[in-house]
Amino acid sequence: MSTAYLSHPDCHRHDMGPGHPECPQRLDAIEDWLIASGIGETLVRLAAPRVDLADVERAHTHGYVAELAEVLQACASSGNSHSMDPDTVANPHTWAAALRAAGAAVEATRLVLDGRHENAFCAVRPPGHHATRDQTMGFCFFNNVAVAARYALDVRGLKRVAVVDFDVHHGNGTEDIIAGDERVLMVSIFQHPLYPYNGAVPKGENMINVPVPAYTKGLEVRELVEAMWMPALERFRPEMLFISAGFDAHRDDDLGQLGLLEADYEWLTLRIMEVAKRHAKGRIVSCLEGGYHLGALARSVGVHLRALSGA
């Protein structure tokens, strides 16, 4: 088993300002933990390429991509920052970072489908699962996982893929893009009510949304996953799985109020891997989403990667 680890310095240069929780130090914390734990030595490290905008437009509208390119390229040229919404800010490096983040997801998909690696993790930012077909929101510009899933379907010819989202926030952007697409099953669990304050009612029959109240702990999450996710995934028999890997449901993370621990993220990863082994030749691409307590994020990514790599 080999696990590809895709990242790029451009993802570190995207910065939404002092005090913003989605900060460059998130990638530093992960890297420090990988070195200290030795897990990094088990991974195949690769530089994320820039995405082809034709691949982005499989998930986003042409008009949105063109408008975003204009705004972000203007930031790059002027050296100024620009507020996309109250939570989401572009700086002069955001365009390059967004291209690398989506590019990592597509490249990881290509590598896994080509049999170069059994699975892959994209240590990238900005995250993606709140970006809808035509709107930035929630720290997100391009929906990295949705772009990759559509690449697998539309370019590589897969017939069924699953998206698994365990971020504390509902992946409303991914749902907006893939709801009603019978080739995709999305299963998610998230705190509700919490930003973006939707998801309790799924937008399509291909969505298994599992909203849980604040202070739900890991054992309860595991029971819900077994009852709600696993039967749907078994029936669907995905040929590849994509993970929106948010680690902000951790007990120590202040952006949510759930009670997951590192052992719960390891368990979730192993259960997803079991589905992948039965139906998808082990093929998984995981993309970093949330996780804002630096220590909890680093440790949680560490167990996620240890499971994926079999280290």
Active site residues: 130
User: How many residues does this entry show for the chain?
Assistant: 311
Q: What are 6's strand-pairing partners?
A: 46, 122
Characterize the bridge pairing of strands 88-90 and 82-85: antiparallel
How many Å apart are CA 131 and CA 94, to the nearest integer?
15
Beta strands in 8-116 (DSSP E): 44-47, 82-85, 88-90
- Taking alpha carbons only, the member of 79, 73, 85, 211 closest to residue 137 is 85
HSE value, Cβ hemisphere, 13 Å, CA-based, for 115: 1
Phi, psi of 284 (to 5 degrees): -140, 135
CA atoms within 13 A on the CB side of 130: 24
Residue 132 CA, distance from chain mean position: 14
